[in-house]
Structure 1
Amino acid sequence: MKNRDIIREKEPDFGLLYRLVDISIVALTLYISLGLYLQEVASNYYISCAFGMICFLLSAESCHLYRSWRTGTFREHAIATLLSWILTVFILIATAYFTKKSTDFSRVVIGLWFVLTPFALIIWRFAILQVTRQLYHRGYYTQKAAIIGVTENGIALAEELKLRTDSGIILEGFYDERDNDRIPKDLKVPICGSVSDALEKARQGELKHIYIAMPLYAKGRITQFLEKFSDTTANTYLIPDFFSYNLLYSRLGHVGGIQVLSVFDTPFNGLTAWVKRIEDIILASIILVLSSPLLIAIVIGVKLSSPGPVLFKQDRYGLDGKKIKVWKFRTMSTTDNGALIKQATRNDFRVTAFGAFLRRTSLDEFPQFINVLQGTMSIVGPRPHAVAHNEEYRAIVERYMLRHKVKPGITGWAQINGYRGETDTISKMEKRVEYDLAYIQCWSLSMDLKIICLTTVKIFSDKMAY
């Protein structure tokens, strides 16, 4: 049977040591928590400690905590560490609940353990980072790199390597076969010679990393360069020009033994989907409880302002383009939900006086927190458009339907950047889609919280809502 090559994620040189230190910290923080509060330790704590160590290792693997972070940032590493421990805590709590063993443990001890552990895990990683930074700055364990091909993605890689001053990888420059008149004049990284020059340096051990940054259509040249550098001991990497396809949260996957690259994907898979859902449930519940007196006042105001129902449900496209019912407080004297829907405009005669106030302050959107609890919407995401508008714009705005790779939101990245309200021109809709796709590409929990905070500030100052 033929063995297929598989692309594996690079691990740090001391991956085993990282794992051993991590589980030692998990055990040590529990021991400290016990020592601070209890005089005698029951055997069930030892069992929980062992189970917690196993759970953390499994969670860390799922969060890719033990991949190589040499060219990453400490912030990314810290977030991965925190998410690994949060998942571990969730598993421990769920196990204790379903096995009815939660009463066998001191809440103070377990609480201290849950709080101390992530701090200890992140602190020791910070200490390692500081040590390696000092070693790199003094010239220890640094490695020289070269980029083959002055291409758009090669230049982008050069900029990243220049920014990652703590990686220990020193970029020597570009090596390219082309004439100087075909090289960009504003190039900030020097051209050090031809590919033959890079090959000779790699053979002599002067270059540790070789990055081949060539367009995909140059398959012949890529193959040729790979054959040449296989005669050296340099670590050789391909930087293919995938970005010409305008990737949307791409990731590597497998179909059996064949590795595939997703071009258009969603950021919400596995752990991130749980994080997003928990965020939505907690925040939506808090907001609905705190705003309940206001909601009652709005119900009365809508009922008194004009005849008709208090709530208005309209068909929208949700996750994966499936139809959902979106709830709103009624702000108009009509409730259009057909094949042709006219967007609200400034001084629209259909908007009631009280409805204008609700739209201006975005209070008409509050019933959508019920959609969030139902799971059809999220607090943050691309705003859902009426089905009629979707069918209109998907035919004329490029990549429009990719907005539906995630759940629609009550607020979004486009809205806080000024693209809220009526989209009376194609260019406005194109910009809204651009921001929506940027949100999907760059999603993080901190980005969601930033959008929520900025939304609360902009609600009463936004002149685009009517």
Structure 2
Amino acid sequence: MRGVQGIVARSVDGISVVVGALLATDVRFGGLVEGTPDTAYITFAVALTLVIFPAFGMYDSWRGRSLPRQLSQVALAWCTVQAIGLVLTFSLHRVELVSRLWLVYWTAIAACFLLLSRVGAHYILSKARNAGINIRNVALVGDGIHTEAVKEKIRITPGSGFRVAAAYNTRLVSAPHNCAEKPFDEFGDFVDYVRQRGIQEIWLALPLSEEASIHRFVSEFSEDLVNVRFIPDVKSVALFDGGVIDLVGAPAINLIASPLASRSLVKKEIFDRLFALAALTALTPLLLGIAIAVKASSSGPVFFRQSRKGADGRTFRIFKFRTMRQHAEVAGIVTQATRGDPRITRVGAFLRRTSLDELPQFINVLKGEMSVVGPRPHAIEHDEIYRKVVNGYIHRYRAKPGITGWAQVNGFRGETDRIEKMVKRIEHDLYYLQNWSFALDMRIVIATVIKGFAGSNAY
């Protein structure tokens, strides 16, 4: 987003922060009174917003970006601004000058304005583009399922501002043409059409093996003011949809690597730490009550700690409330809990059924060993068994394990007494990794709160 648009966007964000603070003051104190609001704090927040938001891509071009993704980025960026401001306030010993309730109101109100401004801009742009304004015509090159998938994505997102105006079939034999765009089978005719109609975009939806075809199009249009973009079909060789990354100054495509980009990992890390801190603070009375109940139910420690594997296979000690009576395990063997297991205490049965025994794992999240959402960690002994018999099991280590996950909210939790159960769980874990977004994390968190704390498979 450049020029006037960028200035307008930054101005709207700054105004949203200031207006949010003033409205929060009115809600909290019933109007402006002496000493409120803290103008220095608000000024710092505005300045920090204009510094932090660009780092989250807030002012990059919106074309082709989904609205949910934009809104999740705005929410995370604003929470980051407020978190940094709060840390600075504590550091400067000015916390007594800031009303906590006012800060909550300000954060919520300003967030609403920031999100509504994006929704409004997205609505206006979508309407304009649906009416044929601000459209970029695309000439799509390729053939097969991947090309059709790209075409379908353009079709179902008309607000993105792209429209397929021409399609070049790379197969030698002619294919039936039953589409709205102008079809071509001859290279020369396609080139003439692109130049005569002033097509702005050429998208090469080709497999990696089509090096000669890619070079042919790049050479042909190297002297034209047209964007030639390569959308590689890597599904046949890549485990995840690998985006292009910068590797020692050179572009690279991940074929087998973490599907989460570095920027995404930073956002997820910030959310995890803030969420864990808030959860531990809010749940302190409940945690203390559970700890007392566990201690009173049977002899032994309050917490059960066990080694698990995290991101990249690193080992860490997971925290849970102890739900079983103390017992000895055979070295190298971990016996899963079963329905009616005599080792489980009465308090432990309730904790396991409601998943309250998992709450201490927010400590692991705060330490950076786990994430709020991700593949659930298994006992190391089970890891060694299942990685040999379940395809793709090893790739669960591509991300931090989570307190909850896509598999759990879809009913795949508890005992895995059959290999088919573990296969289904891994399928859901890999789906999560392949389709990760901040919006998906929020969906899983909400689903966990609504239905995930109790289930027939939890015992």
Pairwise TM-score range, normalised by the shorter structure: 0.7 to 0.9
SS class of match (2:139): strand
Q: What is the deviation of 1:434? A: 2.0
Q: Is 1:260 the equivalent of 2:252?
A: yes
CA contact under 8 A between 1:332 and 1:355: conserved in structure 2?
A: no
Aligned to 1:25: 15
Q: What is the deviation of 1:369? A: 4.5
Identity %: 30
Partner residue of 2:83 out of 79, 90, 101: 90
In structure 2, distance between residues paired with 1:449 and 1:88: 20
CA contact under 8 A between 1:302 and 1:330: conserved in structure 2?
A: no
Deviations along 1:230-275, one digit per CA (max 9) or x if unpaired, are 3433322111123444455855543443333445224663233111
Matches within 5 A, 1:253-292: 253-263=245-255, 264-265=257-258, 266=260, 269-292=265-288
In structure 2, distance between residues paired with 1:301 and 1:39: 53
Aligned to 1:232: 224
Deviations along 1:185-224, one digit per CA (max 9) or x if unpaired, are 9x86667112433311211134222111110111111101
Q: What is the deviation of 1:101? A: 4.7
SS class of match (2:293): helix
Is the alpha carbon distance of 1:223 and 1:406 closer, same or farther for their aligned partners in structure 2, counting shifts above 3 Å? same
In structure 2, distance between residues paired with 1:24 and 1:417: 41
In structure 1, distance between residues paired with 2:340 and 2:25: 68
Aligned to 1:192: 183
In structure 2, distance between residues paired with 1:247 and 1:285: 39
In structure 2, distance between residues paired with 1:449 and 1:143: 33
In structure 2, distance between residues paired with 1:440 and 1:386: 20
Matches within 5 A, 1:205-354: 205-248=197-240, 250=242, 252-263=244-255, 264-265=257-258, 266=260, 269-303=265-299, 311-326=303-318, 327-331=320-324, 334-336=327-329, 338-346=331-339
CA contact under 8 A between 2:13 and 2:114: conserved in structure 1?
A: no
In structure 1, distance between residues paired with 2:33 and 2:451: 54
Deviations along 1:129-166, one digit per CA (max 9) or x if unpaired, are 33333332332222322210023332221111001111
Aligned to 2:6: 16
In structure 1, distance between residues paired with 2:352 and 2:453: 10
Which is further off, 66-75 or 334-343?
A: 334-343
In structure 1, distance between residues paired with 2:294 and 2:99: 46
Is the alpha carbon distance of 1:179 and 1:97 closer, same or farther for their aligned partners in structure 2, counting shifts above 3 Å? same
Amino acid at match of 1:123: L
Matches within 5 A, 1:377-392: 377-392=370-385
Q: Is 1:409 the equivalent of 2:402?
A: yes
Aligned to 2:389: 396
Which is further off, 149-158 or 262-271?
A: 262-271
SS class of match (1:313): strand
TM-score (structure 2 length as normaliser):
0.82
Deviations along 1:56-85, one digit per CA (max 9) or x if unpaired, are 222112111122211222332222223222
Q: Which runs of 5 or more structure 2 residues have no equivalent in the other structure?
A: none
Amino acid at match of 1:275: F
Which is further off, 234-243 or 336-345?
A: 336-345
In structure 1, distance between residues paired with 2:133 and 2:204: 26
Number of residues of Structure 1 aligned to a counterpart in Structure 2 = 449
Is the alpha carbon distance of 1:328 and 1:44 closer, same or farther for their aligned partners in structure 2, counting shifts above 3 Å? closer
In structure 1, distance between residues paired with 2:94 and 2:215: 60
Is the alpha carbon distance of 1:441 and 1:109 closer, same or farther for their aligned partners in structure 2, counting shifts above 3 Å? same
SS class of match (2:389): coil
In structure 2, distance between residues paired with 1:44 and 1:333: 55
RMSD of the alignment, in Å?
3.8
In structure 2, distance between residues paired with 1:104 and 1:88: 18
SS class of match (1:174): strand
Partner residue of 1:175 out of 168, 172, 178: 168
SS class of match (1:388): helix
CA contact under 8 A between 2:396 and 2:429: conserved in structure 1?
A: yes
In structure 1, distance between residues paired with 2:303 and 2:194: 70
In structure 1, distance between residues paired with 2:127 and 2:272: 38
CA contact under 8 A between 1:284 and 1:373: conserved in structure 2?
A: no
TM-score (structure 1 length as normaliser):
0.81
Deviations along 1:388-420, one digit per CA (max 9) or x if unpaired, are 111122233333222223332333211221221
Is the alpha carbon distance of 1:375 and 1:338 closer, same or farther for their aligned partners in structure 2, counting shifts above 3 Å? farther
Which is further off, 47-56 or 81-90?
A: 47-56
Deviations along 1:250-306, one digit per CA (max 9) or x if unpaired, are 555434433334452246632331111111222244334235434433432344xxx
Q: What is the deviation of 1:170? A: 1.8
Amino acid at match of 2:184: G
CA contact under 8 A between 1:19 and 1:57: conserved in structure 2?
A: no
Is the alpha carbon distance of 1:449 and 1:239 closer, same or farther for their aligned partners in structure 2, counting shifts above 3 Å? closer
Which is further off, 435-444 or 273-282?
A: 435-444
Is the alpha carbon distance of 1:369 and 1:289 closer, same or farther for their aligned partners in structure 2, counting shifts above 3 Å? farther
In structure 2, distance between residues paired with 1:355 and 1:217: 57
In structure 1, distance between residues paired with 2:267 and 2:308: 27
Amino acid at match of 1:196: G
Is the alpha carbon distance of 1:465 and 1:81 closer, same or farther for their aligned partners in structure 2, counting shifts above 3 Å? closer
Partner residue of 1:442 out of 416, 435, 444: 435
Is the alpha carbon distance of 1:383 and 1:29 closer, same or farther for their aligned partners in structure 2, counting shifts above 3 Å? same
Q: What is the deviation of 1:372? A: 4.2
In structure 2, distance between residues paired with 1:33 and 1:398: 55
Q: What is the deviation of 1:338? A: 2.8
CA contact under 8 A between 1:149 and 1:213: conserved in structure 2?
A: yes
Q: What is the deviation of 1:321? A: 1.6
